[in-house]
Amino acid sequence: MRELSLNVMDIAQNSLSAGASLIGVEVEEDAALDQLVIRISDNGRGMDEETVRRVQDPFYTTRTTRKVGLGVPLFKMEAEMTGGGLEVKSRPGEGTVVTARFVPSHVDMIPLGDICATMLLLITGNPDRDFLFRWQRNSRGFTLDTRELRGVLGGDVPLDSPDVAEWIGGYLKEQEEALKEES
Ligand SMILES: Nc1ncnc2c1ncn2[C@@H]1O[C@H](COP(=O)(O)OP(=O)(O)O)[C@@H](O)[C@H]1O
Ligand SMILES: [Mg+2]
């Protein structure tokens, strides 16, 4: 994986599998601290302590079709390679928070990639779930909350309808452009 946005997709799939109705994706870039934090949180079924330990182990997965679950361990390794790290916090019945911290100036840093495309795919691919996306770069940032969007659209317009998908894509692109002017 050469883009962190692909890791986000993979970790968010775990949240979807865990039955989460709300998934948060936060990206926080801080140039002064030389830090990039990516946080994926969910209100899914959560994990007990043992599973939290094992999910970070590359040889653990509950899936029987694949012997090795690489989602979390790979993300962790990529963070650690830059001098950062990854933390999993979870409680059965409450949800899970995966926080990865990167040091962007490090030679082994992997580019963030197209995080907006990832969010668009997640949202339109799972119109029955809600997503809270926040991207902060230094002093500038934006939020996309599908719960607010639903409120504006009314109950009968699904998030995967072509017009809505196009609006979301356009909004994300516009906001990303504004962030780029910042730095
Ligand atoms: N966000 C999450 N909420 C609840 N359980 C999770 C979450 N993320 C991972 N898990 C548990 O850890 C297991 C291993 O995850 P992973 O390494 O991604 O492999 P896989 O998704 O192929 O099972 C999952 O099958 C699941 O039981
Ligand atoms: Mg997985």
Position 67 scores a pLDDT of 47
Kindly tell me the sign of the dihedral angle through the C-alpha atoms of 89, 67, 18, 38: positive
> If you search the block for the tokens 């599908």, which residue do you land on?
146
- Average pLDDT of 130-143? 97
Mean pLDDT, residues 148-174 taken together: 92
Query: How much is the pTM?
Result: 0.94
Q: Mean pLDDT throughout 51-79?
A: 78
Residue 66 has pLDDT above 80, yes or no: no
Q: What is the pLDDT of residue 155?
A: 76
Q: Is the CB of 55 under 6 A from ligand 1?
A: yes
User: Could you tell me which residue, 115 or 182, shows the higher pLDDT?
Assistant: 115
What's the whole-number average pLDDT of the chain? 93
Q: Is the pLDDT of residue 72 over 70?
A: yes
Hey, whose CA ends up nearest to atom 8 of ligand 1? 14
Mutate which of 1, 43, 55 to test ligand 1's pocket (most atoms within 8 Å of Cβ)? 55
Return the residue whose CA atom lies nearest to atom 4 of ligand 1.
46
Residue 183 pLDDT greater than 90, yes or no: no
pLDDT at 2 over 90: no
From residue 22, how far is each of 18, 41, 119, 126, 164 by CA, in Å? 11, 8, 13, 11, 19
pLDDT tens by residue, 4-38:
999 999 999 999 999 999 999 999 999 999 999 99
The answer to whether the beta carbons of residues 119 and 130 sit under 8 Å apart is no
Which protein residue has the closest C-alpha to ligand 1 atom 19? 69
Beta bridge partners, 145, equal 132
Q: What is the pLDDT of residue 89?
A: 98
Count helices and strands (H / E) in the chain: 6, 6
How far, in Å, CA of 183 to CA of 179, rounded?
Answer: 7
Classify domain 4-182 by CATH number: 3.30.565
Give SS3 for 129. Answer: coil
Distance, CA of 181 to CA of 183 (rounded, Å): 6
Q: Which atom of ligand 1 approaches the CA of 15 most closely?
A: 1
